[in-house]
């Protein structure tokens, strides 16, 4: 069975068909998500917090990302497999090429996700030139949580909003195949989605992006502590995990999630 490709996802954007994405960290959950029709599985460095119990994503290593990517790859057949570059694995274009090569060769990744805007333009160009699909992550950057002053909504003022729009266009021009916007105002996310031809994934970015992603453990209501305001506990409504994932996919594709309650 052939996996979903970046070409297929771009066609879905052009057709106005919503794309469902969730994080995955192991083979068993990957199988459930794949069977429910989730198009993109993101092996997120969020595993540092929800699996390892760390305070941030920063301690996660490249070897750990490869390990979890390999597990998710084994458990899935159809979904596109996107993987986070862990903190400082993309410090230079050369290092990013080395890290991405390992994620693809040893883990089975189809796409890598990088956190940051214009500072990573040369890195995105280098990866794209070598045939490595890239998702550019803008807005709230968990790897930059100390610099950004915590987990705060980004792009609220005109200057930062214009900068983010410029970064989105620049990343597309550099060869990025996808964008991810985290914790940005819904109106800004909608404007960015219209400004680029590549698919835009949102998390806390309103309903008008092309795709939605949540941390799996958040949407199942099992993450310790307070759940993010942009998430929803689908397990509480569904009774079991496969039904919860199916409900999430249906809500994303049917426009029932996210609502104004989950947006900024």
Q: What is the pLDDT of residue 155?
A: 81
Q: What is the pLDDT of residue 147?
A: 63
197 included as an active-site residue: no
- Report strand pairing: 178-182 vs 200-203: parallel
| Portion of the chain with pLDDT greater than 90, in percent | 88
Domain of 190, in residue numbers: 6-262
Dist CA 62 CA 56 (whole Å): 15
Q: What is the pLDDT of residue 151?
A: 59
Query: Do the domain assignments include residue 136?
Result: yes
CATH code for position 204: 3.20.20.60
**Per-residue model confidence as pLDDT tens digits over 131-174:** 999 999 999 988 876 565 555 678 889 999 999 999 999 999 99
Query: Do the domain assignments include residue 159?
Result: yes
Q: What is the pLDDT of residue 146?
A: 59
Rounded to 5°, angle at Cα 225 from 224 and 230 = 105
Q: Is the peptide bond preceding residue 181 cis, with omega within 30 degrees of 0?
A: no
Q: Residue 36 pLDDT more than 90?
A: yes
Q: Counting Cβ atoms within 10 Å, is residue 195 exposed (0-12), middle (13-18) or buried (19+)?
A: middle
Query: Do the domain assignments include residue 237?
Result: yes
Q: Counting Cβ atoms within 10 Å, is residue 150 exposed (0-12), middle (13-18) or buried (19+)?
A: exposed
What average pLDDT does the segment 216-224 reach? Answer: 95
Among 6-20, 123-137, 219-233, the range scoring the smallest mean pLDDT is 219-233
| Structural domain count of the chain | 1
Catalytic residue among 163, 182, 191, 197: 182
**Per-residue model confidence as pLDDT tens digits over 55-71:** 999 999 999 999 999 99
Q: What is the pLDDT of residue 142?
A: 80
Query: Do the domain assignments include residue 83?
Result: yes
Q: What is the pLDDT of residue 226?
A: 83
| Summary mean pLDDT of the chain | 95
Query: Do the domain assignments include residue 1?
Result: no
Q: What is the pLDDT of residue 149?
A: 57
State the chain's maximal CA–CA distance in angstroms.
47
Dist CA 210 CA 193 (whole Å): 7
């Amino acid at each position: 069975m052939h996996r979903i490709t970046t070409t297929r996802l771009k066609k879905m954007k052009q057709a106005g068909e919503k794309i469902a994405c969730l994080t995955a960290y192991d083979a068993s959950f990957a199988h459930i998500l794949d069977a429910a029709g989730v198009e993109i599985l993101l092996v997120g460095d969020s595993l540092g917090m929800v699996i390892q119990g760390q305070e941030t994503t920063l301690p996660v290593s490249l070897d750990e990302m490869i390990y979890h990517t390999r597990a998710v790859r084994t458990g899935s057949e159809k979904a596109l497999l996107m993987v986070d570059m862990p903190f400082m694995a993309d410090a230079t274009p050369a290092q990013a090429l080395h890290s991405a090569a390992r994620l693809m060769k040893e883990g089975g990744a189809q796409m890598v996700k990088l956190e940051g805007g214009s500072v990573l333009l040369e890195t995105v160009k280098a990866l794209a030139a070598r045939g490595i699909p890239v998702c550019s992550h803008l807005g709230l950057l968990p790897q930059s949580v100390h610099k950004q002053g915590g987990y705060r909504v980004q792009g609220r003022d005109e200057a930062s909003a214009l900068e983010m729009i410029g970064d989105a266009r620049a990343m597309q021009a550099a060869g990025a195949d996808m964008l991810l916007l985290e914790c940005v105002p819904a109106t800004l996310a909608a404007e960015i989605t219209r400004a680029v031809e590549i698919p835009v994934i949102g998390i806390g970015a309103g309903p008008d992006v092309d795709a939605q992603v949540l941390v799996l453990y958040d949407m199942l209501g099992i993450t310790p502590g307070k759940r993010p305001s942009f998430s929803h506990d689908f397990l509480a409504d569904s009774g079991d995990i496969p039904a919860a994932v199916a409900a999430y996919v249906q809500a994303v594709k049917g426009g029932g999630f996210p609502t104004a309650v989950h947006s900024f």
